[in-house]
Each structure stands twice: as C-alpha cells, then as structure tokens.
Chains A and B, each alone.
Chain A
Amino acid sequence: NAGVMQNPRHLVRRRGQEARLRCSPMKGHSHVYWYRQLPEEGLKFMVYLQKENIIDESGMPKERFSAEFPKEGPSILRIQQVVRGDSAAYFCASSPPVRGPYNEQFFGPGTRLTVL
C-alpha cells in the first residue's frame, strides 16, 4: 500500500505565476488535509476536504488560494499569482473514512515551493 504521494517535490515559480500542488491520498482514504510549514515553524492547517466537498477551509487565505478533491484523481492545492511569502513546504495528509479515535493522519513528503 503506497503512502501519501505528493508532486512535484520541488516547485519554483516567479512572482505572479500559478502553482499547482497535487496530493494522492493513501488507498482507501477519503479525507485529505493540506498544511503549510513556514521555515522554522510548525505546520499550520489550511483546508480539509472529502471527495468533492470542502469540509473546513478556515486556514486558507481568503484570496489566491483554492483547493479541490474531485471524485476521480488527486487533490489539488492551487495558488494563483504567487508572492514571495508563499514560499514554504506544503504537506498533504490523509486519513480513512471511518469516524473514531484511531484516525491518525498520514503525511506525504511535501512540496517545497520557492517563489523567486
């Protein structure tokens, strides 16, 4: 069973360009979370999605950021018109659909975004 997959692992963009980050959850997992890690800081929650639904986007910046998790295919985190402050490591995590106390989140290797 492959773990959480993220691609690309490294992404370089110039200011004003768009960044698309992809996340394929573990097999059988239907819950996806996106977190952002700034240098020397912990992970900050951005958005929580289930298939075709955004459950909680309280951590997402109001502008330029969007996320989706379609019925087929990976979850996508999209950042439009990137700025230098968007440079960070973006981690995706997934968990199984069963509600209960054993739902630790499994993390992908992250995408490191650098904005020039």
Chain B
Amino acid sequence: AQSVAQPEDQVNVAEGNPLTVKCTYSVSGNPYLFWYVQYPNRGLQFLLKYITGDNLVKGSYGFEAEFNKSQTSFHLKKPSALVSDSALYFCAVRSESGNTPLVFGKGTRLSVIA
C-alpha cells in the first residue's frame, strides 16, 4: 500500500529565506509524486509532479522539488520565500501511471513571516 509522510505540521520561515517542506513516501513499484497547495477555504492547486527523468522538478510560483530514490523523499523547496506562499502544502503519491487515486500526506502549514 502507498503512504506519504509529511513529518512537520508547521514550518515557519522569514521572507526572503529559502524554504523546505519535507515529504517521504512508500510505494511498491515506480512512484509518481505530486505537490499541491491549498489556500484558506479553497481547493487544491497543482504545483508540480515527478514522473520520470530529472530528479529536480520545477513547478509553479518558483517552487521546485527534488526526488531522491534512495531516501524515498520528495522535498519541496523555494530559494526565496514570499509572504504570499503562506498556505497548506500537500504531498501525494500514486504507484502507477494512469488514473489511480492519489494518496495524500497530512499536510504542512507554511507560514512566511515578513
């Protein structure tokens, strides 16, 4: 069975500093990994995904994520945080290509302080 762990409930970072939101996964077979962001009272917005290829994936709003197979991790990163990045971030995994459901982590609340 697939699972996703986001070990931090909350991440605080000062505006302009780099940020990292951690994610580790467990899946049988090849992993397909996704990051979504949720703003208050809104649905989830897709940020980026890893399917195959380069381990560093670039996504929306300046975010990127690094796939590390040996550590089974897919941490979300941004070189310089903005106050507007404050939101709830979800990592998700799917174990095969196609239209199978996503398995989500519990989410990490990011607060960027001016």
Contacts and interface: CB of A to CB of B under 8 A. Distances in A.
Interface of A: 4, 6, 31, 33, 35, 41-45, 48, 56, 59, 91, 93, 95, 97, 99-110, 112
A108 B99 contact: no
21 contacts: A4-B43, A41-B106, A43-B90, A43-B102, A45-B101, A56-B100, A91-B44, A95-B99, A100-B98, A101-B52, A101-B97, A102-B51, A103-B97, A103-B99, A104-B34, A105-B102, A106-B46, A107-B43, A107-B44, A107-B45, A107-B46
Q: Say whether chain B's binding surface is mostly helix, strand, loop, or mixed.
A: loop
Q: How large is the interface on B (under 10, 10 to 19, 20 to 34, 35 or more residues)?
A: 20 to 34
B97 A99 contact: yes
Contacts of B36: 107
Contacts of A100: 97-98
Interface in B28-81: 32, 34, 36, 41-46, 49, 51-52
Highest count of chain B CB atoms <10 Å: which of A6, A31, A43, A109: A43
Contacts of A6: 43
Interface in B87-105: 90, 97-105
A45 B99 CA distance: 13
Contacts of B90: 42-43
Given A48-B99, A91-B44, A100-B97, A42 B107 contact: yes
Contact of A42 (B34, B42, B52, B105): B105
A86 B98 CA distance: 30
Contacts of A101: 32, 51-52, 97
B62 to A, nearest CB: 19
A108 to B, nearest CB: 5
B97 A48 contact: no
